[in-house]
Amino acid sequence: MNHFELFGLSAAFNLDAAELQQRYRKLQQTMHPDRFASGSERDKLMAVQRTAQLNDAYQTLRSPLSRAEYLLELRGIDLAHEQTTLQDPEFLMAQMEWRERIAEVDDVDSLDGAYKDLQEQMRDLQDELERQLNSDANDDAANTVRKLKFMHKLHHELEQLEERVRY
């Protein structure tokens, strides 16, 4: 059973986060190991395993990036262990520009501007990813996931810079 089936959802990139959370809580209540405290050791072990699977599925589906990776995995494209380098010269140039920009962040204004621009680019890439996944353009979607992973790394770096710049 895949993660979407576990929650009774269709395998799609766009999903209702509130509905996912509601289904998660309901399943969590029915599967919780405490409900099997008086059961056999096998029942207890099964409950722990099901709860772990439920938690993993929820964490995967609640994040758009990991949800996209999981959808691609279901379609036969596993990005988890690959070392594919993007062959997009425009994006490689943008990566260099972002690295330079982050190296130059030294005050709150430049930090806020970088956050704003990064969020906008991530939103655009996520919209593009949704279109690609909906049209089964899996190779293009895989490249967009790679780009979004880079953008998420940049976001993390900005968060680390924020501690230095703001405080």
Contacts 24+ apart (CB under 8 A), 141-149: 141/68, 141/72, 142/72, 142/77, 142/79, 142/84, 143/86, 143/88, 144/68, 145/65, 145/68, 145/69, 145/72, 145/79, 146/79, 146/84, 146/86, 147/86, 147/88, 147/91, 148/65, 148/68, 148/122, 149/65
Give the pLDDT of residue 167.
66
Structure tokens at 110: 């430049």
- What pLDDT is recorded for position 104? 92
**How many angstroms separate the CA atoms of 114 and 156, rounded?**
12
Residues of the chain with CATH 1.20.1280.20: 89-166
**The CATH homologous superfamily of the domain defined by 3-62:** DnaJ domain (1.10.287.110)
Q: Provide CATH 1.10.287.110 ranges for the chain.
A: 3-62
pLDDT for the residue numbered 88: 85
pLDDT per residue rounded down to tens, the chain (167 residues): 999 999 999 999 999 999 999 999 999 888 776 776 777 778 778 878 888 999 999 999 999 999 999 999 999 998 866 666 677 889 999 999 999 999 999 899 999 999 999 999 999 999 999 999 999 999 999 999 999 999 999 999 999 988 887 66
Provide the pLDDT for residue 83.
67
* Architecture of the domain delimited by 89-166: Up-down Bundle (1.20)
What predicted TM-score, i.e. pTM, was given to this entire model?
0.84
pLDDT reported for residue 47:
77
